[in-house]
Amino acid sequence: MTEKIYICQLQQLADPGSHGFSVSHDEETIEGFVVQKDGQLYAYKNSCPHTGSPLDWVEHQFLDLDQAFIQCAVHDARFEIENGACVAGPCNGEALQRLAVLRQGDELFLQLNKP
């Protein structure tokens, strides 16, 4: 069984662009972000695999200047948008933790599995 938690309106997300979110679920807070690129949506936990620090230093800003990669503001690591794989930086070879998102009309939801 799955549960969905509202993230944002689709129009809050440029293409390419990113949007951070924080949601509560079962006494846990999930910090994440969603990226839209070429009409596709990708979501990850907002945690660098190198130190666990948040990736953004400006709210909702997760992409590099060229909007080609997800960028860690702390260590300048670069991650592929499509799969979260680190391709440059101190965590090269590691990856961001993927989150499932669901698009319903003009709304985006985080999709969580319930036991």
pLDDT(115) > 70:
no
Ramachandran area for residue 22 (φ above 0: left; ψ -120 to 50: alpha; else beta): beta
2-113: CATH architecture: 3-layer Sandwich (2.102)
Share of the chain above pLDDT 70, in %: 98
The three-class DSSP label of residue 9 is: strand
Query: Mean pLDDT score of the chain, rounded to an integer?
Result: 94
Instruction: Write down the number of H helices and E strands in the chain.
Output: 0, 9
Sequence spans of domains, the chain: 2-113
For the chain, helix, strand, coil in percent to 5 are: 5, 50, 45
Give the pTM: 0.94
